[in-house]
Structure 1
Amino acid sequence: MEYSSLDDTLPLSTELSIESSMPPSMDMFQEQANQRERVKKIIVLHRGQILRELILVFSEENIMENDFHFQVILPDGKLENAVDDGGVMRDILSEFWNDFYEQCTMGNGFKVPYLRHDFGKQEWESVGRIITFGWQKEKYLPVKLSPVLLEQAVLGFVVSDLVDSFLKYVSESERVIFESCRSDFEGVDQEELLEIMDIHNCRRLPTADNFEQILKEIAHQKLIQEPAFVIEQWNNTLAPLRSELKGIAAVYEELQPTSRKIMRSMTYPSTQNAQEKQMVKYVSAYLRESDTQHLSLFLRFCTGSDLFTGKSITVSFTQLQGFQRRPVAHTCGCYLELPVSYDHYPDFRNEMNKVLDSNVWVMDIV
């Protein structure tokens, strides 16, 4: 699908409010001129097409100077019934980066962009602006990108351990072989090792003495050299983040969702009856047993962001029953409504998982 224009991007004139009792001054006239220059826009995107459309929006060099908010069109052509008070923006960032990981990167735990024939200088600069926008507006970073990649792009040098990042980039089977080589080189299946080294274009025979050096060289090639063009395009666009992101690895750690972080962010009614107290226990049990993927889905369901950005989640209880019974989230205000009609914890867990695993993210609360 081609995107040659942004006809759905609607400019809104900015209203100026100046006290009539104040005498005119040059400062006032300058302020009026500055406000007129900042045009407020509605950016309309289409669910399922956000990757391409957001890149097109941020291809404008001065896009960050504008004041704008988002609206989303559903696949059936209807407008999502939501006001962008932060929740829609967070949800758009989450969808964009999930699609970006799938379509524009290689790697396992950590991802690295790969060069596509349909992505040139303009597209990669646009992605860099989206990184800057996400951090400045919502403290959102694409934490699945290898941290050494962003360190090189933001700071101009690598801080994190290259080999550790590389071991999270490769597949699980390759990681097991590489770690075994580091601890007991002679005990590794040499034929399998050579096959893996050939996949990574290694042209030297690995030995117990040179394996660590070869591993560092391959890590540098995969994480720094191969995405060098992308890093170059991101370098200028990410410049505003240099003072804030001197410790990217620490920021990554803060953004990673954990059950403890989420439980601490949740606020319940001060007074609760027996059913409501039981629901609080169900939620805590659910979060404790959830894997990282479901913790991310839970956060996105409640806040719009699949990362832990420090948002407080306010919980209330409802009396929904039967076919109407379901958890309901209001992402703009980070509210979660939970029915109290579950007889057993497995019933709640099953229903919560169905909601999260449906992967249907529709902002339907104004």
Structure 2
Amino acid sequence: MTMSLIDAFLCTVSPTDKEVLNRALTDFNSVDTDDLLDILENVDCKSLPNSQNILEIITHLAHKAIFQEPHFVIDSWKCFLSKRLTTKLSKEHFDTICEKLAPTPRKVIYIISYPTDMGVLESTVSKHLQRFIKDLDNNSLSDFLRFVTGSDLLIKNCISVRFVDLHGIARRRIAHTCRCVLELPNLYANYPDF
């Protein structure tokens, strides 16, 4: 149990930290002490590690990261959610919700809202944006949504596009995730320029 818990914990840390912690577990004397102490300090470990207690320290940290911290969040939300969820959520219903939130280019294009008084330049840029979204793979589409909405899922019903007059080096896309607004410069020579 201890090693599988530690293995799960090591999957949650960076590759560099994982290497240092593995080295500390297998050959404590070969580990860079400063690196190890930095890692332990970052996870609020108050114990000074040595070859006799390193397994116990890392096991404690793993238990805290894998069980205690998530359990605190579960307990915090349990009361709130139990009052609002009167029925149990079936796997099928959960899968339906996840499928609805999963982004596709078509769904993202559907929720984009443009100003009603667009001119020729703005209409051209809106077509560039739609083409851009259609060309995105799943990871890039998630990145786009995260840039515009703050989430890589379709949690908002509308993404508003606002056109701004920016030229030269100042020309850039600006996202306001609180309101799900994407500001786009209104002038691009062509799609590759967009």
Q: Normalising by structure 2, report the TM-score.
A: 0.60
Residue 123 of structure 1 aligns with an amino acid whose one-letter code is E
Counterpart secondary structure, 1:264:
helix
Residue 142 of structure 2 aligns with an amino acid whose one-letter code is S
Counterpart secondary structure, 2:155:
coil
Residue 99 of structure 2 aligns with an amino acid whose one-letter code is E
- Choose from 97, 119, 126 the match for 2:65: 119
Query: Any conservation in 1 of the 2:122–2:187 contact (CA below 8 Å)?
Result: no
- 1:106-148 deviation line (CA, Å, top 9, x unaligned): xxxxxxxxx9344254212134358x5xxxxxxxxxxxxxxxx
- Residue matched to 1:293: 139
Q: CA deviation at 1:328?
A: 0.7
Residue 155 of structure 2 aligns with an amino acid whose one-letter code is T
Distance 1:332 1:238, change over 3 A: closer
- Choose from 119, 123, 128 the match for 1:273: 119
Q: CA deviation at 1:346?
A: 1.6
How far apart, in 1, do the equivalents of 2:75 and 2:106 lie? 32
Distance 1:298 1:120, change over 3 A: closer
- Residue matched to 2:128: 282
Matched, 1:318 2:168: no
Distance 1:244 1:343, change over 3 A: farther
- Higher helix fraction: Structure 1 or Structure 2? 2
Structure 1 residues 192-341: aligned runs within 5 Å: 240=82, 241=85, 243=87, 245-246=89-90, 247-341=93-187
Residue 331 of structure 1 aligns with an amino acid whose one-letter code is T
How far apart, in 1, do the equivalents of 2:138 and 2:65 lie? 31
How far apart, in 1, do the equivalents of 2:187 and 2:75 lie? 46
| 5+ long unaligned stretches in structure 1 | 1-101, 105-114, 133-235, 349-366
Q: CA deviation at 1:305?
A: 1.4
How far apart, in 1, do the equivalents of 2:80 and 2:12 lie? 22
Q: CA deviation at 1:335?
A: 0.9
The runs of at least 4 aligned residues of structure 1 exceeding 4 Å deviation read 236-239
- 1:86-117 deviation line (CA, Å, top 9, x unaligned): xxxxxxxxxxxxxxxx727xxxxxxxxxx934
Q: CA deviation at 1:273?
A: 1.2
Counterpart secondary structure, 2:144:
helix
- 1:231-255 deviation line (CA, Å, top 9, x unaligned): xxxxx67962573633111111011
Q: Normalising by structure 1, report the TM-score.
A: 0.33
Distance 1:327 1:267, change over 3 A: same
Query: Any conservation in 2 of the 1:296–1:306 contact (CA below 8 Å)?
Result: yes
Counterpart secondary structure, 1:116:
helix
Distance 1:244 1:315, change over 3 A: farther
Structure 1 residues 30-41: aligned runs within 5 Å: none
How far apart, in 1, do the equivalents of 2:103 and 2:115 lie? 24
How far apart, in 2, do the equivalents of 1:245 and 1:238 lie? 15
Instruction: Indicate the percent of aligned positions where both proteins have the same amino acid.
Output: 38
Counterpart secondary structure, 1:316:
strand
How far apart, in 2, do the equivalents of 1:120 and 1:286 lie? 40
Query: Any conservation in 2 of the 1:301–1:329 contact (CA below 8 Å)?
Result: yes
Query: Any conservation in 2 of the 1:302–1:335 contact (CA below 8 Å)?
Result: yes
| 5+ long unaligned stretches in structure 2 | 1-10, 14-60
Query: Any conservation in 2 of the 1:128–1:237 contact (CA below 8 Å)?
Result: no
How far apart, in 1, do the equivalents of 2:112 and 2:66 lie? 43
Residue 314 of structure 1 aligns with an amino acid whose one-letter code is S
